[in-house]
Amino acid sequence: MMAGQHHWGMVIDLDRCTGCEACVVACWAENNIRLNPDSAFHTRRAILWIRIERYWEGEYPNLKARFFPVLCQHCNNAPCEPVCPVFAIHHSSEGLNVQIYNRCVGTRYCANNCPYHIRFFNWWNPEWPESMTNQLNPDVIVRTRGLIEKCTFCIQRINSVERQARFEKRDIRDGEIQPACAQTCPTDALVFGDLNDPNSRVSRLAADPRHYRFMEELGTDPNVIYLKRVELNA
Ligand code: SF4
């Protein structure tokens, strides 16, 4: 489904990801995500819009750590969208899965229906120490208790670039929009762009023979595309 002028998507190259988690920190800082104390992780109530899943391949002593970044897949057939009783989720004409905080009443049906576990319920009002209040991003609202939140592909950055391009009466340049995670990744493992543009970097990478979509057998049709890690045995 490619209805709008743009169709935003991301390619994640697993061959490049080193598991450094710079993307996780960048996302946290950009999007005013609450501080997660140990207790939040122990009770499985921590909020991370992007997480790095670690798993092991091989048998000891030839074990190898593998890393797999997971964020909202912005599915074209998103299972979270039809189950919201108050229409707090909608699919934008540009391929984004959008959460409307003002509508959300916190039933959490969407989180239960997301196979990727990337939706988070705010169990508490977020708090930051006084020394950190100046680092909050004024372009992103702080979510209060009782709301579901998740990755937006840094929609505030998309809107800002779209506004500027409209103002200057020009097209958006490939690579001009960078979500915080993609901007920060030191190995360039995350590439964001317009899947409607066949010449964009993201479209070219999406055509790589290594491409696949996470749990694509579910038919969710994500706009996040992974590139397999390939290892040649010596
Ligand atoms: S910043 Fe890049 S290399 Fe580091 S964990 Fe994230 S995706 Fe992987």
Q: What gap in Å lies between CA 122 and CA 100, rounded to an integer?
A: 14
pLDDT per residue as tens digits for the range 160-191:
999 999 999 999 999 999 999 999 999 999 99
Give residue ranges with CB within 6 A of ligand 1: 17-23, 52, 67, 69, 185, 187, 189-190
The b-or-e profile of 174-212 (16+ CB within 10 A means b, else e) is eeebbbbbbbbbeeebbbbbbbbbeebbbbebbeeeeee
pLDDT band of residue 4 (cuts 50, 70, 90) is low
Average pLDDT of the residues in 142-168: 96
Q: Quick one: pLDDT at residue 231? A: 78
Q: How far is the CA of 48 from the centre of ligand 1 (A)?
A: 14
**Residue from 229, 224, 228, 227 nearest 71 by CA:** 224
53-62, 68-77, 108-117, 200-209: least confidently modelled range: 53-62
Domain ranges of the chain: 8-227
Q: Which residue has its alpha carbon closest to ligand 1 atom 8?
A: 17
Q: Which atom of ligand 1 is nearest the CA belonging to 24? A: 6
Q: For the domain 8-227, what is the CATH code?
A: 3.30.70.20
**Residue from 214, 209, 211 nearest 70 by CA:** 214
CB atoms within 10 A of CB 222: 22
Q: How far is the CA of 52 from the centre of ligand 1 (A)?
A: 8
Task: Report the predicted TM-score, pTM, of the whole model to 2 decimal places.
Answer: 0.93
Q: What gap in Å lies between CA 24 and CA 91, rounded to an integer?
A: 25
For 232, the token pair is: 């040649």
Inter-residue contact 227 to 69 (CB < 8 Å): no
